[in-house]
Amino acid sequence: MTAEPFWKSKTLDQMTPGEWESLCDGCGRCCLNKLEDEDTGEFLYTRAACKLLDIGTCRCTDYPNRHDKVPDCVALTPQNVSSLGWLPGTCAYRLLAEGKSLPWWHPLVSGRQATVDEAGITIKNEAYSEEGLSVDDLVDHIWRLPKPRRRRTT
On the CB side of 53, CA atoms within 13 Å amount to 24
Residues in the chain: 154
* Candidate residues 93, 96, 105, 110; the one interacting with ligand SF4 per rule CB under 6 A: 93
Q: Which stretch binds ligand SF4 (CB under 6 A): 2-10, 19-27, 39-47, 137-145?
A: 19-27
Site for ligand SF4 contains 123 (CB under 6 A) = no
Residues 25-64 that bind ligand SF4 (CB under 6 A): 25-31, 50, 52-53, 60
At closest approach, how far in Å is the CB of 85 from ligand SF4?
A: 13
Closer CB to ligand SF4, residue 52 or residue 119?
52
Helix (H) or strand (E) holding 114: helix 114-118
Angle in degrees, CA 107, 62, 144, rounded to 5: 55
Interface with ligand SF4, residue 130, by CB under 6 A: no
Phi-psi region of 80 (alpha: psi -120 to 50; beta: other; left: phi over 0): alpha
26: Cβ–Cβ under 8 A, 6 or more apart, which residues? 57, 58, 59, 107, 113, 116, 122
Residue of 48, 81, 91, 95 interacting with ligand SF4 (CB under 6 A): 91
Instruction: Summarize as ranges the residues that interact with ligand SF4 (CB under 6 A).
Output: 24-31, 50, 52-53, 60, 66, 70, 73, 76, 88, 91-93
